[in-house]
């Protein structure tokens, strides 16, 4: 085991900024648990990288991988296979009109890159708007539209990228007379600033319906519609990044359904492959036609790969047959209730928020001042791991006390209760020492 960590330190490039690797060797994973080399079982409250919505090593996914790898795994990118066309059709059928055209890729960053590239080509603009706490990926255009972390030291971002204030109901910057978030005034102010800087060349606004890395911040009802209108008024498209919110995670098939707002382009990843590298861009026939006529190019090594497309079809099969949208809503209500009860016992819990099985828990040093509890969040994370629960804390400036809780949609109520029990113990033990 010592050789493992020696080799890791000697040979691995560290890629997570200031954060380090979890100090456990993971040997296998199954369902809601990962198993370590020293025989410990950890309850996974983050679904891997927020992706394994069917749990780890789901039997249907395992069977599909084994079958597909033995028959058709990878092709020249200009060739098509039945799993690819089937998945494109089924994704289109799961979405409202006019979202009917699909591009299958590998990661969320890649799908956002393709969406932004398409928006620029179709509109003729180059300006991109996103939230000040956004995370859309680490490739060039996606990273240029990411403001929550990773901007310093890499030279100029793509020109024409602008950040607007993130609506945060727990920490409002614009308020109504009764102290609530005045998101309409905030949004109007944001676009006054955009108009002051813009050269009149807006291509798109890209946002998550619930900002995940930004602190699990759910956009207020009505916000998406107002944002869409402001984008369209300026000639831009609305791109929704549903990497973490799409495919039943929030209790709806897609998070935007709550608001009845259909985006011009939607990007999917994480949940679509249930842990395997699969992503998608979905748009309208009109936008695809204009892009194609203007020579849209996004020809990558693993575009339209059959193996992961077959897995995507299996993921849709399980979501449909097990009604996991309803299941996520039920489990989410149970989890939110349990977390709210924890807040009644622990004064360091300032806020519980989110939808379905994407929930944020924010720790604070003082409820009145809402002073962030970064060190406390790290300490609770460490203690949870010791007790058998893997939690994911937002490791961003002033957000280290926000937990992103995203268990598998196939979790049991008993597994959620186990996680709540461990979290309860961890907070109780750590809060008195930090």
Among the listed residues 226, 282, 253, the one whose alpha carbon sits nearest the alpha carbon of residue 355 = 253
User: Is 5 marked active-site?
Assistant: no
CB 284 within 8 A of CB 98: yes
H helical segments located in 234-353: 285-293, 306-321, 324-345
Instruction: Choose, from 241, 264, 351, 362, the residue flagged as catalytic.
Output: 241
Round to whole Å and give the CA distance between 265 and 206: 9
How many residues does this entry show for the chain? 434
**What are residue 383's phi and psi, to 5 degrees?**
-70, -40
If one counts every other C-beta atom within 10 angstroms of the C-beta of residue 232, the result is: 14
If one counts every other C-beta atom within 10 angstroms of the C-beta of residue 406, the result is: 30
* Structure-token match 């179709």, residue found: 122
User: For the chain, how long is the longest CA-to-CA vector?
Assistant: 64
User: Is 370 marked active-site?
Assistant: no
**What are residue 217's phi and psi, to 5 degrees?**
-105, 115
CB 278 within 8 A of CB 54: no
User: Is 241 marked active-site?
Assistant: yes
Instruction: Choose, from 110, 133, 135, 395, the residue flagged as catalytic.
Output: 135
User: Is 270 marked active-site?
Assistant: yes
263-291 burial, b at 16+ Cβ within 10 Å, e below that, comes to bbbbbbbbbbbbbbbbbbbbbbeebbeeb
Instruction: Choose, from 101, 270, 353, 355, the residue flagged as catalytic.
Output: 270
DSSP3 helix / strand / coil % (the chain, rounded to 5): 40, 20, 40
Look up residue 159 and give its two tokens. Answer: 């020109």
Look up residue 140 and give its two tokens. Answer: 């060039």
User: Is 135 marked active-site?
Assistant: yes
Interstrand relation of 389-390 and 371-372 (parallel, antiparallel or unpaired)? unpaired
Instruction: Choose, from 208, 252, 305, 351, the residue flagged as catalytic.
Output: 208
Please give the helix or strand (H or E) that residue 141 lies within, else none.
Answer: helix 140-144
CB 111 within 8 A of CB 300: no
Round to whole Å and give the CA distance between 243 and 394: 17
User: Is 426 exposed, middle or buried (CB count within 10 Å of its CB: 0-12, 13-18, 19+)?
Assistant: buried
User: Is 253 marked active-site?
Assistant: no
Look up residue 417 and give its two tokens. Answer: 């209760």
Catalytic annotation, residues:
135, 208, 241, 244, 270, 404
């Amino acid at each position: 085991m010592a050789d493992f960590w020696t080799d890791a330190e000697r040979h691995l490039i560290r890629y997570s900024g200031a954060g380090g690797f979890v100090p456990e060797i993971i040997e296998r994973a199954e369902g809601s648990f990962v198993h370590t080399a020293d025989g410990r079982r950890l309850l996974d409250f983050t679904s891997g990288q927020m992706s394994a919505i069917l749990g780890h090593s789901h039997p249907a996914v395992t069977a599909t991988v084994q079958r597909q790898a033995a028959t058709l795994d990878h092709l020249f990118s200009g060739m098509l296979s039945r799993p690819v066309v089937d998945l494109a059709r089924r994704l289109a059928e799961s979405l409202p009109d006019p979202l009917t055209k699909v591009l299958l890729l590998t990661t969320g960053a890649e799908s956002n890159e393709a969406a932004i590239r398409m928006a620029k080509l179709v509109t003729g603009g180059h300006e991109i708007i996103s939230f000040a706490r956004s995370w859309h990926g680490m490739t060039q255009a996606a990273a240029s539209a990411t403001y929550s972390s990773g901007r310093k030291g890499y030279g100029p971002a793509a020109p024409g990228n602008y950040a607007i204030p993130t609506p945060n109901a727990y920490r409002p910057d614009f308020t109504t007379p009764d102290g609530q978030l005045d998101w309409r005034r905030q949004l109007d102010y944001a676009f006054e600033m955009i108009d002051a800087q813009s050269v009149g060349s807006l291509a798109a606004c890209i946002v998550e319906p619930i900002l995940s890395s930004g602190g699990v911040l759910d956009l207020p009802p009505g916000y998406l519609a107002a944002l869409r209108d402001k984008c369209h008024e300026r000639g831009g498209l609305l791109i929704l990044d549903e990497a973490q919110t799409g495919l039943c995670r929030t209790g709806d098939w897609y998070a935007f359904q709550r608001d009845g707002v259909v985006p011009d382009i939607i990007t999917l990843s994480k949940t679509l492959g249930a842990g395997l590298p699969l992503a998608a861009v979905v748009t309208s026939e009109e936008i695809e036609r204009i892009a194609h006529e203007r020579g849209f190019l996004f020809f990558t090594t693993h575009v339209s790969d059959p193996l992961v497309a077959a897995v995507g079809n299996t993921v849709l099969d399980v979501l449909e047959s097990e009604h996991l949208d309803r299941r996520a809503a039920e489990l989410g209500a149970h989890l939110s209730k349990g977390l709210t009860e924890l807040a009644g016992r622990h004064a360091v819990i300032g806020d519980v928020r989110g939808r379905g099985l994407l929930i944020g828990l924010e720790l604070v040093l003082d409820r009145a001042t809402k002073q962030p509890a970064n060190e406390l969040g790290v300490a609770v994370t460490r203690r949870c791991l010791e007790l058998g629960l893997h939690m994911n804390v937002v490791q961003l400036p002033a957000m280290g006390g926000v937990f992103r809780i995203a268990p598998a949609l196939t979790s049991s109520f008993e597994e959620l209760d186990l996680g709540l029990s461990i979290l309860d113990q961890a907070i109780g033990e750590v809060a008195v020492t930090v």
